[in-house]
Amino acid sequence: MLPDAKDFDTLTRQFRWNIPARYNIGVDVCDRWAEADPQRLAILHVQSDGREDRVTYGALRDASNRLANVLRAKGIARGDRVAIFLPQSPDVAVAHIAIYKLGAVALPVAVLFGPDALSYRLQNSGARALLTSAAGLAKLNDIRAEAPDLACVLSVDGAGDSADSWPDLAARASSNFTPEITTPDDPAMMIYTSGTTGQPKGALHGHRVLLGHLPGAELPYYPFPQQGDRFWTPADWAWAGGLLDVLLPSLHHGVAVVARKFDKFDPEEAFALMQKTQVRNAFIPPTALRMMRAAPNPAGRYDFKLRAMGSGGESLGIEALEWGRSAFGLTINEFYGQTECNLVIGACAQLGQAREGSMGKAVPGHTVAVIGPDGTVLKPGEIGQIAVKRPDPVMFLEYWKREGATRDKFIGDWMTTGDQGTMDEDGYFTFVGRDDDVITSSGFRIGPGEIEDCLIGHPAVALAAAVGKPDALRTEIVKAFIVLKPGHAPTDALASEIQTFVKTRLSGHEYPREVAFIDDMPMTTTGKVIRRLLRERD
């Protein structure tokens, strides 16, 4: 979708949206490629034992058509919500494509979720069907009565526990299916927000959401696609980052995607996977990158074919950026968005559009600004809320059954993100923190990102989070929660050393006046620190 250009300003000027009157994600990412070249590689599935399965677009078309026929025979119709509770695998792609062709609404659910989280999403969405595995059925059993709308459960591992066998039913179904005719605004998927505060909300998106993602998905890897491109991300395909930043845009462009289920993310396995499958494009969230920093000399031990890498979901930080250059020989392009309106800010080092400490500029096609409480666009350098102007094809349709919350998301035509940031005179955006994450201390407004970036620069620190702790004198003080690297013991002396480390590199008002060492960092399934839980400890 992005035009050819030699610089970012030209790219922005030349860009135009092309949203057709009729559009279906399933047909776009599968059927049109299957008709042109059914043997074209769509997904390279690497199993835990190292075996590789090569899934073609022709196979995706046949499998998704069979599943669509199975679901229709089970009474699933246009507009019904169908939950997908599966790990990263070709089955997830088949499920999404089938649901879109059927005109139903895909409801991705992360496999890390327990019964309570699954129950909430099934109840709140009124899901009519669930596509899962034996492991998913084990979680479903305890809460099945709490999902009265659930009429159909299919398991990839065969029949059992009130579930029908997906493989058996699909084998008997026809591989011919006529997709429903859909418009860009017809509902296609519902992704629940990560829920760092309060219960998650279902962000309902139309079929246009994929087209809206394309400029932001292409920019970090510009020009994209190129001959030989192959994409991989450790992010769960149930998350907008894995689904809409990698899987669907890659299939749209005919680029093969590497699928690999990680029970627990392992940096060495990630390096080995990228080498073995000759990954050319990667989206790796900041938390995973920080974990990979602990691996010694990856550039000397692995032969990478990477040409571009992106990262997003939370602030990347200068430390991780510098490490990426030494480890991969390239600049990691940061990008920004959220479930409701994703990939609207991004960097592109290939076009000279990257600045340390910044997330980049507004992606072509999107109008983004920093606004005040009344919706006024603020001056360069002023801290305010990052907002996106409607109409915008990547923007959500509504929060499911939350009319008031949908209305409150907007100030006039500005969709608010709940993220504080600044924009400089050149149009570069810098993330400061969530509205409720910004720390007010002695009259200063302090974003946790800069402190956390400094903290992980200390050789003993693996993960870090900074929060505001109530203080009678200063309103709040900065408190750091730290997960140490192996071989380092939590001592008062180390805490003092870390405090001095930050004070001498940032400023006296930003250093953590308290340091707490913890074994595990509370995170959402998308790798974002849940600072709310850390604040509640105090």
Specify if 4 maps to a domain.
no
Structural domain that includes position 499: 437-536
Asked which of 206, 239, 269 is the last residue of a domain, the reply is: 206
Residue type, 38: P
Residue type, 536: E
Strand (E) or helix (H) holding 254: none
Spatial distance between the Cα atoms of 43 and 55, rounded to a whole number of angstroms: 5
Specify if 402 maps to a domain.
no
Specify if 224 maps to a domain.
no
Contact assessment for residue 208 and residue 393, using Cβ atoms and an 8 Å cutoff: yes
Spatial distance between the Cα atoms of 349 and 333, rounded to a whole number of angstroms: 7
pLDDT at site 319: 83
Specify if 428 maps to a domain.
no
Specify if 454 maps to a domain.
yes
Specify if 162 maps to a domain.
yes
Asked which of 187, 206, 225 is the last residue of a domain, the reply is: 206
Helix/strand/coil for 168:
helix
> Residue 155 sits in a domain of what CATH number?
3.40.50.12780
Spatial distance between the Cα atoms of 314 and 192, rounded to a whole number of angstroms: 17
pLDDT at site 196: 46
Q: Specify the length of the chain in residues.
A: 538
Spatial distance between the Cα atoms of 35 and 114, rounded to a whole number of angstroms: 40
Q: How many domains does the chain contain in total? A: 2
What residue spans of 204-339 are helical by DSSP H? 208-218, 240-242, 248-252, 267-276, 286-292, 298-301, 318-328
> Residue 497 sits in a domain of what CATH number?
3.30.300.30
In order along the chain (538 residues), what is the average pLDDT of each group of 10 residues? 94 97 98 98 95 98 98 98 97 98 97 85 96 95 92 96 95 98 98 68 97 98 97 94 97 98 91 97 89 89 96 82 92 95 97 93 98 97 96 98 95 95 96 76 70 90 92 84 95 96 80 95 79 84
Spatial distance between the Cα atoms of 527 and 521, rounded to a whole number of angstroms: 10
Residue holding tokens 């939590």?
Answer: 490
Asked which of 171, 206, 241 is the last residue of a domain, the reply is: 206
Question: Measured in whole angstroms, how far is the alpha carbon of residue 366 from the centre of its chain?
Answer: 19
Residue type, 512: P
The order of strands in the sheet holding 129-132 is 164-165, 152-155, 129-132, 81-84, 105-108, 187-192, 202-206, 398-399
pLDDT at site 529: 85
Helix/strand/coil for 129:
strand
Q: What is the DSSP letter of 307?
A: -
Helix/strand/coil for 209:
helix
Contact assessment for residue 296 and residue 323, using Cβ atoms and an 8 Å cutoff: no
CB count, 10 Å around CB of 364?
Answer: 22
Model pTM score: 0.85
Specify if 251 maps to a domain.
no
What DSSP letter does each residue of 170-201 carry, written as one string? HHHS-S---PPP--TTSEEEEEE---SSSS--
User: How many CA atoms are closer than 13 Å to the CA of 247, on its beta-carbon side?
Assistant: 27
Closest alpha carbon to 71 in 43, 35, 105, 42:
105
Specify if 217 maps to a domain.
no
Question: Measured in whole angstroms, how far is the alpha carbon of residue 316 from the centre of its chain?
Answer: 14
Strand (E) or helix (H) holding 94: helix 90-102
What are 323's two structure tokens?
């490490």
